[in-house]
């Protein structure tokens, strides 16, 4: 009885053909939705964006205590040691409220104190490399355009042009989809909390 000899290359080609035939049968467009498991987020952490003005700074070895003002309300916050300037504006978006917080270093008890991850100056990202205001504005625009391109999901379905009011009213409807917003750009903040913030107004 003769043994049947099949070249290894033939077997490999046959396997590859079967693998291709076993691929997806549909090429219909689909949406990839990026979700975050909320169970891993600390419920005590507030992630609301705050814009505050520094009124007083108490430096420390590891932490800095800062009296700030926001919308006419003054309160104390604390963050890791960093240089802060009185009268300047800063942003933060992660905080935990503590009551009767004791600072042993300063022998002081704060009735209420917000522990924040970091304070980002309002001027962060402006005037890059000493450019003039005009060229700085152009540079900011290019940075925003580049970040939009890099963050785009090429597989997402385009949902068309909508108003800002529509987006705010039903954000879940547009989750994981591309949309187009048209409006007047009133302000741009580059690199705040790792994001580029573009303020738009469209009258809606």
Domain boundaries, the chain: 50-121, 128-201
CATH code, residues 50-121? 2.40.50
Instruction: Please compute the mean of the pLDDT values over residues 157-173 and round it to a whole number.
Output: 82
Q: What is the pLDDT of residues 168-203, one digit of tens each?
A: 888 888 887 878 877 777 777 666 666 677 777 777
Q: Check residue 22 and give its pLDDT.
A: 47
* Measured distance CA(192)–CA(195) in Å, rounded: 5
Q: Is the dihedral of CA 114, 79, 42, 190 positive or negative?
A: positive
Q: Which range among 17-21, 89-93, 139-143, 179-183 shows the weakest confidence by mean pLDDT?
A: 17-21
* Measured distance CA(37)–CA(167) in Å, rounded: 22
Q: How many other CB atoms are there within 10 angstroms of residue 39's CB atom? A: 6
Instruction: Please compute the mean of the pLDDT values over residues 23-49 and round it to a whole number.
Output: 52
The pTM of the full predicted model, rounded to 2 decimals, is 0.46
Instruction: Please compute the mean of the pLDDT values over residues 147-166 and round it to a whole number.
Output: 69
Q: Check residue 15 and give its pLDDT.
A: 42
């Amino acid at each position: 009885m003769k043994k049947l000899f099949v070249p290894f290359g033939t077997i490999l080609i046959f396997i590859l053909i079967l693998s291709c035939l076993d691929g997806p049968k549909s090429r219909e467009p689909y949406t990839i939705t990026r979700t975050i498991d909320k169970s891993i987020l600390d419920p005590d952490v507030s992630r609301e964006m705050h814009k505050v003005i520094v009124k007083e700074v108490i430096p420390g070895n590891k932490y800095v205590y800062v009296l700030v003002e926001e919308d006419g309300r003054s309160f104390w916050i604390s963050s890791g040691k960093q240089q802060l300037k009185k009268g300047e504006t800063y942003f933060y978006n992660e905080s935990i409220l503590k009551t009767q917080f004791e600072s042993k270093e300063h022998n002081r008890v704060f009735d209420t104190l917000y522990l924040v991850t970091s304070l980002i100056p309002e001027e962060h990202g402006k005037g890059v490399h000493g450019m003039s205001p005009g060229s700085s504005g152009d540079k900011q625009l290019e940075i925003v355009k580049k970040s939009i391109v890099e963050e785009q999901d090429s597989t997402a379905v385009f949902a068309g042009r909508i108003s800002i009011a529509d987006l705010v009213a039903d954000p879940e409807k547009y989750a994981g989809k591309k949309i187009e917003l048209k409006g007047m750009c009133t302000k741009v903040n580059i690199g705040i909390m790792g994001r580029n913030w573009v303020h738009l107004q469209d009258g809606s």
